[in-house]
Amino acid sequence: MFRRILASVVLVVVAGILLVLAWPQLFGLHRTFGVAHVVSLRAAAAIIGVALILVLLLVVLIGRAVRRFAASLAVLVLVFVLVNAAVLSTRGFGDTALETAAESDLTVLSWNTLGDEPGADVVAKLAIDAGADIVTLPETTEGMAFAIAALMKAAGRPMWLKTTHFDEISKSRSTSVLWSSDLGAYSIDETLGSTSTLPSVIMRPDDGDGPVIVAVHAVAPITAEFDNWRADLDWLAGVCVGGNTIMAGDFNATLDHMTRLGNAEGTAIGDCNDAALATGNGAVGTWPTTVPALVGSPIDHVMATANWRVTGMRVVQSVDGAGSDHRPIIARLQPAE
């Protein structure tokens, strides 16, 4: 009798833990330490769950004494796997189609370069091939940004640029942004501050005509920075407010972490919508490049307010060996009618 009661208690506890890990938003735990890390790797968690089911099925076959208990655990883990698979499938496993850019469209490229690692040639070629109008580059120094801009100008795509940094000791504490000269002059807006540990930069058009551009670099949710990570997400939600904003960069957060940060139904954070979710790419991982994209975590984003319609988005996997641990993302935005 005692063994049955103990087994029932264990199953209830396991079911509760798996429910929290599968859908922490239900309990408001999606930005809680530990839970936030598991939910950021839904695909990996599902794969681990499948492996665990196979082990439990083996126990069912050879362990008569614990057969019922192991079978019950296997069912619980199966439900966990199915929930994660369902969430990922609704977000999309990848659609690389990009419509031909119209004259009024904007193409946005973002890449955390891990401290200039890919080199200017690689970044510039990617931007030129994509026809990028806006390029946001977390962990990219001013010197690297100048080199990229020079290469793009030589290819017939002149760009202006700005770099902000918290110090010049660590390259990770620099963020650069380039934009097409066709968009006109922009200046850094420092009135709203920045993210806490790694710099984000807000660019506003000098003539007031054109989108506000936010190059994003939120800190990673490591132990020492966890409170800053949550504060960064709150700051980003407060920055994407208004009718004409484009945000792109390393958010160090998935859509799960952004739950309840949108200002309206359907928005991902603040007034911004996520380009990956809009195009069926929401489950394609951008980090790390050492694992397949469908196993990784989608923490890099292009976001835009409702005046922009996303016509295509791509997580670039062809430069996984270029040196960065992040994959570049490209999104094409069209003015909404």
| Residue 75 φ/ψ, nearest 5 degrees | -65, -45
3-state secondary structure of 230: helix
Contact 268, 245 (CB under 8 A): no
- pLDDT, position 266: 84
**Alpha helix (H) ranges present in 63-206?**
67-91, 120-130, 142-154
pLDDT, averaged in runs of 10, over the chain (337 residues) = 80 96 97 97 97 95 84 96 98 90 94 98 98 98 98 98 92 97 96 96 92 98 98 97 94 98 93 97 98 98 96 97 98 91
Per-residue pLDDT tens over the stretch 275-320:
999 999 999 999 999 999 999 999 999 999 999 999 999 999 999 9
What does the DSSP 8-state code read for residue 78?
A: H
Quick check: pTM over 0.75? yes
- Give residue 265's Cα distance to chain centre: 20
Q: What is the CATH number of domain 106-335?
A: 3.60.10.10
Which residues does 98 contact at the CB level (< 8 Å), separation at least 6?
A: 311, 312, 313, 314, 330, 332
| Residue 239 φ/ψ, nearest 5 degrees | -80, -35
d(CA 177, CA 244): 18
Return the structure tokens found at 267.
């928005």
d(CA 113, CA 283): 21
- pLDDT, position 3: 75
- Give residue 222's Cα distance to chain centre: 16
- pLDDT, position 1: 65
Which residues does 54 contact at the CB level (< 8 Å), separation at least 6?
A: none
Return the structure tokens found at 148.
């990229």
What does the DSSP 8-state code read for residue 107?
A: E
DSSP labels, 17-77: HHHHHH-GGGGT-TTSTTHHHHHTTHHHHHHHHHHHHHHHHHHHHH-GGGHHHHHHHHHHH
d(CA 130, CA 110): 11
CA pseudo-torsion sign 39, 240, 109, 198: negative
- pLDDT, position 254: 98
Beta bridge partners of 330: 109, 314
Per-residue pLDDT tens over the stretch 15-41:
999 999 999 999 999 999 999 999 999
d(CA 326, CA 251): 12
- pLDDT, position 242: 82
